[in-house]
């Protein structure tokens, strides 16, 4: 095993360990060692899976991209029929010993599929871009029906950095992303005007073709116009969460409560934290799903600024390591996969931690390596195994 | 492979790293803002309020009698609860609370420490008066970790009248919790009677709510709505076959004497009346009984917790002569008209003299006559002619010493001795055949429960079968009522035997010198049998069993009054009165006034 791999593994295991401690801290009053022990088992299984996958040749794994993607899409369809989940959602298969969450696996399936497709194309046409979006939208829409807005958004977003990595002009990436940014800004007129102004300036001074300028503008205005209708179609809890994000102080006891509590918990940690297992906010059932989505609030409260900074630096170091590893790879599939997976983790990490700090809306996205969850853990280690497999065989190209 | 785009890719990877660093900086900046700049303020806020999950206790299902009158219901009571985690650290708060509640500070601490969950409201004192409630609520500033919780408390409006049937509720034991049926410390569970038997239906489903506390004072706990908040679901209503009016009447007739009365419908096994005296007030248990109250009940010599109808075994006395006669008929030892040596008031067997209850003797009697006047000498001679093993064999066949399976917990089974039992009791060869003479008249080691006797007599009344006795009429289902079909039990007993026994039982009541003539009802033929069981501790137990009407039986009734005298003098008149009331109330029979009948 190479030094790069060893460094990555050490950081991953440290993060997993901190995760287990935090999970134990947040669940010991209600479930004792239960969750922590299960998490350790998942880590061990994931580690074994990584060692196994690492031995497979990257070209074999590449050949698996399409069937793997296909299977994940089928599973996402199936979970809508036989799945279970909290509050009448259909997010996981109840297998007895675990709740298998196909949307976690779909993340890898999609990244593999996109890497596979983009490694084959030469140059970009409208057709290839449409195909890339189609590939991303199939699982994203299925996940949206579960419904799991957060994961759906992440699945949709992942297409942009992968197109970017594959060499699409960055200005085109911005054009493609603009409708989504417009959507995000649509709730506040001022924000939308600023964004639209910037876009117009870019379009005017960029000296693009008239049809492209008109199309981008038309789409953006269109998105802004239909946003209210889309809003009508969101589930109440999704609306609450979005409202809570935009106006968190409006209703402390309503949907903003969760994030406000998380913010208070983290803030009250101060410099050194309240000490491991000594958090006062977490044990009182203040923050639901604290061992999964809100794990960072335990770290913030109990380990303070020192601990939070440490966790963020470790995550940053790990993600940078992955990106550097990508730069050492030779074939496009490996590079795109490694890059796509890393950006996926960056997005998840930012949304998750941002949510506990109340700078992002509440979604059900796990914090990579730290949150409790079997599917999430196995997914991470599987991807890590694929990246190591690519790294191991990089000199063959 | 990537020669042309290699540097481009490197550039894009570097750009991504820069974006990553930017995002991380944003997060760190925000964390710095929250923890370092605003840290002190948030720490203050973190102590300002907290939220706890609290169960809302579901009221137990109502229990009503066959007329719909309430036997067990629920009333709203107020309990004072505390949050162990925070309250245990607040000495001043505990001090204030102990003064308001009038309990020791250590009592409060112990209650809180017992709780299985440190942040859930734990009951400190149940069912406090309104003055205490308003005091606690007015002083919320001094008591930020205390709350008043409205809880349903079991309430028995008829108090001791149905105590044994309905039973009582009490706090769960560690064993109940270990069974994992969702009970926690302090929960109430049915301990005896119907409350225990139908616990699963009665208990209902607790609700869940969230409360926001403000430890720094300023306001009391506020309700906080969450996705999994849910209202409690009341337990299912249960309707019994019991008639509380009759229950009341029976306990009036028993006065303060120890005893039991059972009335069962022969057509369905419905228990119309099952009284056991003395009773107890189940309300005393409803809020958790105090140890002094418990001592008082347990140390009572009359044992009020005992349901004498199903948990007491008595020597059946002469009632057992029906069984002895039945065995004799089935075995062909006697026929309806068989006569033995005339009764002279006593019978000599070996070197022992066995006395008849009538010193001057009954003279010569056939089987029917011997039952009617309950001649002991006749049955000593019949017993002598039967093999000892037969008693146990037939008892088993006719389920006389078998639990009837009544839907009340704690039923005992009777005891009909076998030869091996005598070996065990007296040693091999240390007992004589005299024991079977005593057995034949229902004395000696023989013990039966009142309900077992009732079931056998019901089979005689019906002509060979009876329905399993039960108190449950129906349970409220999710929509409709759920009714259980009565279970029929057939006994292997020939119809000719039954005919003779029925005829004899009719003579007991109808014949001029029949021992049960006090149970006579004008216009209705009643068949019965008296029992007077000798008992080493004081006067005899008087008992009487009967069924009526003779031609088309509806009811089996059994009465026992402990230490009161002769069955015919004490138990039979009570049985007659109750029987009359039942036939009028339940079968719409209009009977002539008792005085006219005489």
Kindly state the DSSP code that residue B181 receives in the 8-state scheme: S
**A34 three-class SS:** helix
Do the bridges between strand B346-349 and strand B352-355 make them parallel or antiparallel, or are there none, so unpaired? antiparallel
**Residue in B7, B32, B42 to test binding to A, most A beta-carbons within 10 Å:** B42
Q: How far apart are CA B12 and CA A327, in angstroms?
A: 10
Element (H, E) at B85: helix B84-87
Q: Is A263 on the interface with B (CB under 8 A)?
A: yes
Torsion region of B281: left, alpha or beta (phi above 0 gives left; psi -120 to 50 gives alpha): beta
Most confident range, picked from A45-54, B185-194, B290-299:
A45-54
Tell me the nearest-neighbour CA distance from B132 into chain A, angstroms: 28
Q: What is the ipTM of this complex?
A: 0.90
Q: What is the count of structural domains for chain A?
A: 1
Does the bond joining A147 to the residue before it have cis omega, within 30 degrees of 0? yes
Note whether B17 contacts A280, CB cutoff 8 Å. Answer: no
Nearest residue on chain A to B32, judged by CA atoms? A305
Contact status, residue B30 vs residue A353, Cβ threshold 8 Å: no
Q: Is A266 on the interface with B (CB under 8 A)?
A: yes
Nearest residue on chain B to A303, judged by CA atoms? B35
Q: Tell me which residues of chain A, numbers 15 to 44, contact chain B at a CB-CB cutoff of 8 Å.
A: 29-30
Q: Which residues of B touch A119 (CB under 8 A)?
A: none
Q: Which residues of B touch A343 (CB under 8 A)?
A: 16
Q: Is B45 on the interface with A (CB under 8 A)?
A: yes
Q: How far apart are CA A20 and CA B55, in angstroms?
A: 30
Pick B2's closest partner by Cβ from A257, A315, A330.
A330
The confidence score (pLDDT) of residue B187 equals 79
Return the CATH architecture of domain B244-278+308-597: 3-Layer(aba) Sandwich (3.40)
Q: How far apart are CA B370 and CA B97, in angstroms?
A: 74
Task: Note every long-range contact of A341-345, with CB atoms under 8 Å and residues 24 or more positions apart, other chains counting.
Answer: A341/A108, A341/A111, A341/A383, A341/A386, A341/A387, A342/B16, A343/A158, A343/A161, A343/A162, A343/B16, A344/A107, A344/A111, A344/A154, A344/A158, A345/A319
Q: Which residues of B touch A335 (CB under 8 A)?
A: 2, 9
The confidence score (pLDDT) of residue A341 equals 95
Contact status, residue B155 vs residue B283, Cβ threshold 8 Å: yes
Kindly state the DSSP code that residue B279 receives in the 8-state scheme: -
Pick A308's closest partner by Cβ from B8, B26, B31.
B31
Pick B46's closest partner by Cβ from A165, A265, A330.
A265
Identify each DSSP E strand in B225-374 by its residue range. Answer: 238-240, 259-265, 271-277, 346-349, 352-355
Mean pLDDT of A354-373: 88
Task: Note every long-range contact of B353-361, with CB atoms under 8 Å and residues 24 or more positions apart, other chains counting.
Answer: B354/B380, B354/B434, B354/B437, B354/B438, B357/B532
Mean pLDDT of B432-451: 89
Domain(s) of CATH 3.40.710.10: residues in chain B: 244-278+308-597
Element (H, E) at B82: strand B70-82
Torsion region of B171: left, alpha or beta (phi above 0 gives left; psi -120 to 50 gives alpha): beta
Q: Is B89 on the interface with A (CB under 8 A)?
A: no
Nearest residue on chain A to B54, judged by CA atoms? A285
The confidence score (pLDDT) of residue B591 equals 65
Note whether A281 contacts B212, CB cutoff 8 Å. Answer: no
Spell A25-64 as b/e; 16+ CB within 10 A means b: bbbebeeeeebbebbbebbeebbebbeebbeeebbebbeb
Query: What's the token pair of residue A160?
Result: 């942009």
Nearest residue on chain B to A308, judged by CA atoms? B31
Contact status, residue A163 vs residue A176, Cβ threshold 8 Å: yes
Return the CATH architecture of domain B55-213+223-238: Alpha-Beta Complex (3.90)
Q: How far apart are CA B56 and CA A241, in angstroms?
A: 28
Give the number of A-B residue pairs with CB atoms closer than 8 Å: 140
In Å, how far from its chain's centre is CA B16? 75
Do the bridges between strand B50-56 and strand B352-355 make them parallel or antiparallel, or are there none, so unpaired? unpaired
Query: What's the token pair of residue A49?
Result: 């899976």
Note whether A339 contacts B212, CB cutoff 8 Å. Answer: no
The confidence score (pLDDT) of residue A28 equals 76
Confidence of residue A250 (pLDDT cuts 50, 70, 90): very low
Q: Is A275 on the interface with B (CB under 8 A)?
A: no
Query: What's the token pair of residue A332?
Result: 């496009």
Q: Which residues of B touch A393 (CB under 8 A)?
A: none
Nearest residue on chain A to B223, judged by CA atoms? A253
Query: What's the token pair of residue A330?
Result: 């030779």
pLDDT tens string A252-310? 444 566 777 788 888 888 898 888 887 766 544 555 567 888 899 999 999 999 999 99
The confidence score (pLDDT) of residue A187 equals 65
The confidence score (pLDDT) of residue B594 equals 47
The confidence score (pLDDT) of residue B2 equals 40
Mean per-residue pLDDT of chain A: 85
Q: What is the 3-state secondary structure (H, E, C) of B476-498?
A: ECCCCEECCCCCEEECCCCHHHH
The confidence score (pLDDT) of residue B534 equals 82
Burial class for B336, CB neighbours closer than 10 Å (0-12, 13-18, 19+): middle
Is the pLDDT assigned to residue B248 strictly greater than 70?
yes
Q: Is B50 on the interface with A (CB under 8 A)?
A: yes
Phi and psi, residue A359, nearest 5°: -110, 0
Contact status, residue A266 vs residue A303, Cβ threshold 8 Å: no
Other CB atoms within a 10 A radius of the CB of residue A217 amount to 15
**Residue in B4, B5, B9 to test binding to A, most A beta-carbons within 10 Å:** B9
Domain of residue A87 covers 3-396
Burial class for B110, CB neighbours closer than 10 Å (0-12, 13-18, 19+): exposed
**Among B47-61, B193-207, B261-275, B503-517, the least confident range:** B47-61
B160 against B507, higher pLDDT: B507
Domain(s) of CATH 3.90.1310.10: residues in chain B: 55-213+223-238
């Amino acid at each position: 095993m190479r030094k790069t791999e060893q460094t990555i593994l050490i950081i991953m295991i440290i993060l997993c360990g901190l995760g287990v401690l935090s999970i134990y801290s947040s669940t010991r009053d209600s479930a004792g060692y239960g969750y922590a022990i299960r998490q350790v088992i998942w880590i061990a299984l994931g580690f074994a899976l990584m060692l196994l996958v690492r031995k497979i040749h990257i070209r074999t794994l590449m050949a698996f991209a399409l069937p793997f993607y296909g299977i994940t899409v089928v599973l996402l369809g199936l979970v809508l029929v036989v799945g279970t989940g909290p509050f009448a959602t259909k997010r996981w298969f109840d297998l007895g010993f675990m709740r298998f969450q196909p949307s976690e696996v779909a993340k890898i399936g999609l990244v593999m599929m996109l890497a596979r497709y983009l490694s084959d194309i030469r140059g970009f046409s409208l057709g290839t871009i449409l195909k890339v979006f189609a590939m991303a939208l199939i699982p994203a829409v299925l996940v949206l029906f579960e419904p799991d807005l957060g994961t759906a958004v992440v699945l949709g977003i992942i297409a942009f950095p992968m197109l970017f990595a594959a060499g699409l002009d960055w200005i085109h990436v911005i054009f493609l992303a603009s409708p989504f940014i417009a959507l995000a800004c649509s709730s506040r007129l001022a924000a939308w005007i600023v964004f639209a102004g910037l876009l117009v300036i870019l379009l005017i001074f960029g000296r693009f073709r008239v049809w492209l300028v008109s199309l981008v503008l038309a789409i953006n205005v269109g998105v802004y116009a239909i946003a209210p209708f889309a809003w009508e179609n969101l589930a109440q809890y999704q609306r609450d969460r979005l409202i809570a994000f935009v106006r968190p102080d409006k209703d402390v006891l309503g949907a903003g409560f969760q994030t406000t509590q998380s913010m208070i918990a983290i803030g009250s940690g101060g410099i050194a934290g309240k000490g491991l297992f000594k958090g006062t906010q977490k044990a009182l059932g203040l923050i639901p799903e604290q061992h999964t989505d809100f794990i960072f609030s335990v770290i913030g409260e109990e380990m303070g600024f020192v601990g939070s900074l440490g966790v963020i630096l470790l995550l940053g170091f790990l993600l940078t390591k992955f990106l550097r590893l990508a730069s050492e790879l030779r074939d496009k599939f490996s590079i795109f996969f490694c890059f796509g997976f890393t950006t996926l983790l960056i997005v998840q990490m930012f949304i998750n931690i941002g949510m506990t700090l109340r700078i992002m809306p509440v979604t059900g996205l796990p914090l990579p390596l730290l949150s409790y969850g079997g599917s999430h853990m196995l997914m991470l280690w599987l991807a890590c195994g694929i990246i190591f497999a690519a790294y191991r065989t990089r000199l063959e190209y | 492979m990537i020669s042309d785009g290699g540097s481009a890719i490197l550039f894009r990877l570097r750009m991504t790293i820069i974006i990553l660093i930017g995002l991380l900086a944003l997060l760190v900046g925000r964390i710095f803002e929250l923890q370092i700049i605003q840290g002190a303020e948030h720490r203050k806020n973190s102590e300002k309020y907290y939220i706890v999950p609290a169960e809302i206790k579901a009221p137990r299902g109502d229990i009503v009698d066959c007329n719909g009158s309430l036997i067990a219901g629920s009333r709203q009571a107020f309990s004072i609860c505390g949050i162990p985690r925070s309250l245990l650290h607040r000495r001043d708060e505990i001090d204030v609370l102990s003064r308001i509640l009038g309990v020791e500070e250590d009592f409060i601490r112990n209650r809180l420490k017992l709780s299985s969950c440190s942040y859930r409201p734990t009951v400190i004192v149940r069912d406090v008066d309104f003055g205490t409630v308003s005091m606690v609520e007015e002083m919320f500033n001094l008591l930020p970790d205390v709350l008043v919780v409205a809880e349903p408390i079991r309430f028995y409006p008829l108090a001791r009248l149905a105590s044994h049937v309905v039973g009582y509720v009490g706090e769960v034991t560690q064993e109940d919790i270990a069974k994992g049926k969702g009970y926690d410390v302090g929960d109430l569970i049915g301990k005896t009677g119907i409350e225990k038997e139908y616990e699963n239906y009665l208990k209902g489903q607790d609700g869940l709510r969230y409360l926001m506390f403000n430890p720094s004072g300023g306001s009391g706990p506020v309700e906080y709505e969450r996705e999994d908040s849910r209202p409690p679901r009341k337990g299912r209503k249960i309707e019994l076959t019991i008639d509380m009016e009759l229950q009341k009447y029976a306990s009036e007739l028993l006065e303060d004497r120890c005893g039991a009365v059972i009335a069962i419908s022969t057509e369905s096994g419905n228990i119309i009346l099952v009284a056991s005296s003395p009773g107890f007030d189940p309300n005393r248990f409803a809020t958790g009984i105090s140890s002094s109250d418990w001592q008082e009940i347990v140390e009572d010599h009359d044992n009020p917790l005992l349901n004498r109808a199903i948990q007491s075994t008595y020597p059946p006395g002469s009632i057992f002569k029906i069984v002895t006669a039945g065995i004799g008929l089935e075995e062909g030892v006697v026929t309806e008209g068989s006569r033995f040596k005339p009764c002279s008031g006593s019978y000599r067997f070996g070197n022992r003299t066995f006395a008849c209850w009538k010193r001057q003797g009954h003279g010569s009697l056939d089987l029917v006559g011997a039952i009617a006047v309950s001649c002991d000498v006749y049955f000593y001679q019949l017993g002598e002619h039967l093999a000892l093993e037969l008693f146990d064999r037939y008892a088993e066949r006719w389920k006389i010493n078998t639990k009837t399976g009544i839907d009340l917990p704690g039923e005992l089974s009777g005891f009909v001795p076998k030869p091996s039992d005598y070996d065990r009791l007296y040693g091999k060869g240390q007992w004589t055949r005299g024991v079977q003479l005593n057995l034949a008249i229902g004395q000696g080691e023989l013990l039966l429960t009142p309900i077992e006797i009732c079931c056998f007599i019901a089979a005689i009344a019906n002509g060979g079968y009876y329905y399993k006795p039960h108190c449950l009429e129906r349970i409220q289902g999710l929509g409709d009522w759920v009714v259980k079909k009565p279970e029929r039990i057939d006994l292997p007993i020939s119809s000719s035997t039954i005919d003779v026994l029925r005829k004899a039982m009719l003579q007991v009541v109808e014949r001029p010198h029949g021992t049960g003539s006090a149970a006579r009802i004008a216009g209705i033929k009643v068949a019965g049998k008296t029992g007077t069981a000798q008992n080493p501790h004081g006067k005899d137990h008087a008992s009487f069993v009967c069924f009526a009407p003779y031609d088309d039986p509806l009811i089996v009734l059994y009465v026992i009054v402990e230490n009161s005298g002769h069955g015919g003098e004490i138990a039979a008149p009570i049985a007659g009165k109750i029987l009359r009331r039942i036939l009028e109330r339940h079968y719409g029979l209009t009977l002539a006034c008792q005085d006219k009948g005489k």
